[in-house]
Amino acid sequence: MKAYKAKILVIYTGGTIGMVKDPEDGALKPFDFDHLVAQIPELKWLDCQISSISFAQPMDSSNMQPNHWIELVELLEVNHENYDGFVVLHGSDTMSYTASALSFMVRGLAKPIIFTGSQLPIGDLRTDAKENLITAIQIAALHQDGIPVIQEVGLYFEYKLYRANRTTKVSASHFNAFASFNFPALVESGVQLEVNHGYLWRSMLAAPVFHKRLNNKVGLLKLYPGMPQSLVRSVLLEAGLSAVLIESFGAGNAPDAPWLHKLIQEALAQEVLLCHVTQCAGGGVLDDHYQTSIRFNHPEILSGRDLTTEAALAKLMVLLGSEIDPQELRSLWSTSLCGEQNN
């Protein structure tokens, strides 16, 4: 019997991982992903079939916007039946935002979508790009009896695969650039790939759903000592905003300044959806734990529990773009849709 070989599609959106130095002027430029295996001969050793496509105009991840998330989802939708897994190459700066968004925009796929990138270009002598790319493909190709082991959106960097919507970038200079403070790694790469099967996500959806409507009219307000009242007003009461995500202190606290609570009440009266998460790297908000809890004073504000800011923003954009009624939106906000939060 012929051994099963997974078919993996590598999608290059841009970023450092796809750069090589021009031998003439030393400038960084994207390499030709049509000849991916030729560029990285080690890929021939992997027991899978690899194809690759690229954004028409690869971009620095700082320029990645929600419309580009939709472009990526469209690529996945067109190709989802032809491949067993996908690897998305992406700049690291906004990778957690895009990867988190994809976890909400592509649900029920039952195949891996693995994001990776690098801190150094693929042509650099000390690059982390080759290991990240090779192992990301290997993880995407993991299967048992032809069924993918990973069936969710993951982010692989420096020997660890994390659930994408649990990640945040923590370093601009170290190879271990990402962390997942509230959820363990799904796979750890050592001498062998060690899969933490008990933490893997399995969707209850019978068929894949591709969400391509987003509402990015979402504001972000990070609380800090000495905030000008005018700044808070400009965010909470910005015309046309559908929602504001508040990064509260610690376990969900906010100053008890009367002017702040008055502005919050004004925003709520204008039917602006207000949600909050902690601005701490780990942990989450504990509703009504302190008298300064923002929900103690304003129970209408939705708790983000242990959501990362990246996941919370993406989830809001997807839910608002779904144009569901407010009660259903509030219910889905509080529900773990793809393992993004602890219930």
**What CATH number is attached to the domain comprising 63?**
3.40.50.1170
pLDDT band, very low/low/confident/very high, at 297 (cuts 50, 70, 90): confident
Same structural domain for residues 127 and 204?
Answer: yes
Same structural domain for residues 196 and 225?
Answer: no
Q: Which residue range(s) make up the domain with 54?
A: 6-210
Same structural domain for residues 231 and 82?
Answer: no
| pLDDT 10s digits, 149-159 | 999 999 999 99
Q: What is the pLDDT of residue 301?
A: 94
The answer to whether position 59 is within a domain reads yes
Same structural domain for residues 323 and 238?
Answer: yes
Q: What is the pLDDT of residue 291?
A: 66
d(CA 63, CA 263) in angstroms, rounded, equals 32
Among 149, 175, 210, residue at a domain's last position = 210
Same structural domain for residues 276 and 326?
Answer: yes
Residue 305 sits at φ, ψ, to 5 deg, of 50, -120
**Active site (catalytic) residues:** 16
The answer to whether position 1 is within a domain reads no
Calculate ∠ Cα 319-338-101, nearest 5°: 55
- Tokens 């195949």 locate to 111
Q: What is the pLDDT of residue 44?
A: 85
Same structural domain for residues 21 and 163?
Answer: yes
Please give the DSSP secondary-structure letter assigned to residue 269.
Answer: H
d(CA 144, CA 159) in angstroms, rounded, equals 22
Segments in 186-243 forming alpha helices (H):
229-236
For the cut 70, the answer to whether the pLDDT of residue 290 exceeds it is no
Q: What is the CATH number of the domain that holds 318?
A: 3.40.50.40
Q: What is the pLDDT of residue 224?
A: 97
Q: What is the mean pLDDT of residues 170-174?
A: 92
Same structural domain for residues 254 and 195?
Answer: no
Same structural domain for residues 180 and 83?
Answer: yes
Question: What is the percent of the chain with per-residue pLDDT over 90, rounded to a whole number?
Answer: 75
DSSP string of 153-199?
EEEEETTEEEEGGG-EE--SSSS--EE-TTS--SEEESSSEEE-GGG
Among 187, 210, 233, residue at a domain's last position = 210
| pLDDT 10s digits, 53-65 | 999 888 999 999 9
How many Cβ atoms from other residues are within 10 Å of residue 74's Cβ? 12
Average pLDDT value for the chain = 92
Total of domains in the chain? 2
What distance separates the 2 farthest-apart alpha carbons in the chain? 73
pLDDT band, very low/low/confident/very high, at 37 (cuts 50, 70, 90): low
Q: What is the pLDDT of residue 2?
A: 54
Q: What is the pLDDT of residue 136?
A: 97
| pLDDT 10s digits, 205-236 | 999 999 999 999 999 999 999 999 999 999 99
β-sheet with 302-303: strand ranges across = 218-222, 243-248, 273-278, 302-303
Query: What is the number of residues in the chain?
Result: 343
Question: What is the percent of the chain with per-residue pLDDT over 70, rounded to a whole number?
Answer: 96
For the cut 50, the answer to whether the pLDDT of residue 1 exceeds it is no
For the cut 70, the answer to whether the pLDDT of residue 280 exceeds it is yes
E strand residue ranges, the chain = 6-12, 19-21, 28-30, 48-54, 85-89, 106-107, 113-116, 143-144, 147-148, 153-157, 160-163, 168-169, 178-179, 187-189, 193-195, 209-210, 218-222, 243-248, 273-278, 302-303
Token output for 186: 């799904």
22: part of which helix (H) or strand (E)?
none
Q: What is the mean pLDDT of residues 19-34?
A: 72
Q: What is the pLDDT of residue 19?
A: 78
Of residues 324 and 343, the one with the higher pLDDT is: 324
| pLDDT 10s digits, 244-276 | 999 999 999 999 999 999 999 999 999 999 999
Same structural domain for residues 173 and 253?
Answer: no
